[in-house]
Amino acid sequence: MMWVEKYRPKSVEEMVGNEKVRISLISWLRKWQKGSKAALLVGPPGIGKTTLARLLAKMERYNMVELNASDTRTRETLSRKIGEATRSESLVAQRTLIFLDEIDGITGRADYGAVEFVKEAVRQSMNPILMAANDEESDQVRKLGEVCQVFKLRPPPPREIVMYLKHILEEEGLEIGDERLSEIAVVCRGDIRYAINMLQAGLSESKERSITTQESITLFLSSKDESEAMDALSMYPGQPRDKVREIFSSIVRSRVRGEKRGRMLRCISDADILLGRINATGNWRLLRHLDKILAGCMIRELRGEKIAYTRESIPWELQVRIWNRSKRLKEVYGLLAGMLRTSSSQFVSGFLPYISVMLESGEFAEKISSITGVGTEELDLLKEFGQI
Ligand SMILES: Nc1ncnc2c1ncn2[C@@H]1O[C@H](COP(=O)(O)OP(=O)(O)OP(=O)(O)O)[C@@H](O)[C@H]1O
Ligand SMILES: [Mg+2]
């Protein structure tokens, strides 16, 4: 089990750092009444924003309606999901706290109107609204600042982090040198999730404990920069092919769709091509580049996504088929995209989902095939790919 889960604080008091901020947040909630400002928690990744929000609700006995703002792509979903919660004046005995997590993830498009919607919701809400964001400088944060009391979480001093890490080691009955502990506490720059992960990962090198493939992939999928991603991949205890495979099935089973998904799959396909070359040539030294390709290419796409580790869900044969023919697939996209006067990535996100459903009809497939000259076998591939 991952220590970040096992040692997730159980109460607000157990958390590391920012004690004053935690206390003033509690008093914001206690004093809140209709018309009061919302609260906005701002702080770097892994410092405990989400954790603090949940523990606060628990401590003050609020029922929490949690919404990850980056999930809500349209104003309508946002309004549907929080509208209800802002209106209902506790029908049930328990009061409600509305938590909008990762508000800097709500799409930045000007015409979207989500920020305005949230502002209006804050003004009208019968229930307190708490928000969290990473980036103080983001447009969303700046705009929402007007209706919020802002609570800034800052990196706790390394010695506090060291104490926390020591407490974990004690619970585990393990020991590592003070020097290494301080090092972790300093390099994590306030990212406690990272510190705990590094502590656990570092120990896995020794014989006390070995990291599982699941843990390594989970670390990879949640890493925030390339070096973290490289570390995670290098800890993978299995075969390189399985490593690529597990990343693939996690992405495919995630909610990531559209262009982003296409870009992720292309990264994986590049890694797979390299693996193929290694297998064919026996040049094992090329393996060193595998993690680099995966980490370098994927990290841009992984940031801000929450992707859970998922074991194989589609038959491996199908995956292999998709991979082996990914080059041909790209050509087919290119061709169809050209005919539809759109880009390949637009094609994958905007057209493919529909086309792949329509391809279910043999008649349609034949028509497409005769217009485009793309073989039916390739159209089948397109159909499978579009529906995963
Ligand atoms: N202040 C803290 N005290 C103790 N543990 C912490 C603290 N902050 C983070 N952690 C650990 O890191 C994990 C992740 O924290 P959390 O998800 O709350 O961070 P976050 O600030 O919301 O990050 P993100 O910006 O990526 O959403 C927690 O489950 C916990 O194990
Ligand atoms: Mg969070």
Beta bridge partners of 68: 101
Residue 28: CB within 6 Å of ligand 1?
no
Round the average pLDDT of the chain to a whole number and report it. 83
Greater model confidence, 296 or 86: 296
Q: What is the pLDDT of residues 247-268, one digit of tens each?
A: 988 988 888 888 888 889 888 8
Beta strands in the chain (DSSP E): 38-42, 62-68, 95-101, 129-133, 148-152
Q: What is the pLDDT of residues 148-167, one digit of tens each?
A: 999 999 999 999 999 999 99
Residue with tokens 């708490």: 130
pLDDT at 10: 96
Q: Where are the alpha helices (DSSP H) in 145-225?
A: 158-172, 178-187, 192-205, 213-221
Residue with tokens 């801000």: 304
**Which residue minimizes the CA distance to atom 30 of ligand 1?**
8
Q: What spacing in Å lies between the alpha carbon of 185 and ligand 2's midpoint?
A: 20
Contact residues for 243 (Cβ-Cβ < 8 A; gap 6+) = 213, 216, 217, 233, 236, 290
Distance CA 316, CA 255 (A): 20
Q: What spacing in Å lies between the alpha carbon of 344 and ligand 2's midpoint?
A: 33
What pTM, to 2 d.p., does this model score? 0.58
35 Ramachandran zone, left/alpha/beta (phi>0; psi -120 to 50): left
Task: State CA 204 to chain mean position distance.
Answer: 24
Q: Counting atoms of ligand 1 from 1, which one is nearest the CA of 45?
A: 25
Class of domain 156-209 (CATH, top level): mainly alpha
Closest C-alpha among 368, 365, 382 to residue 330: 382
Q: What is the pLDDT of residues 302-353, one digit of tens each?
A: 988 888 888 765 555 555 555 556 667 777 778 888 888 877 777 777 777 7
Q: Counting atoms of ligand 1 from 1, which one is nearest the CA of 134?
A: 25
User: Would you state the structure tokens that stand for residue 14, as one six-digit string?
Assistant: 């157990």
Contact residues for 320 (Cβ-Cβ < 8 A; gap 6+) = none
Q: What spacing in Å lies between the alpha carbon of 250 and ligand 1's midpoint?
A: 22
Residue 3: CB within 6 Å of ligand 1?
no
Residue 155: CB within 6 Å of ligand 1?
no
Residue 49: CB within 6 Å of ligand 1?
yes
Class of domain 18-152 (CATH, top level): alpha beta
Q: Counting atoms of ligand 1 from 1, which one is nearest the CA of 51?
A: 18
DSSP labels, 245-309: HHHHHHHHHSS--HHHHHHHHHHHHHHHHHHHHHHHH--GGGHHHHHHHHHHHHHHHHTT-----
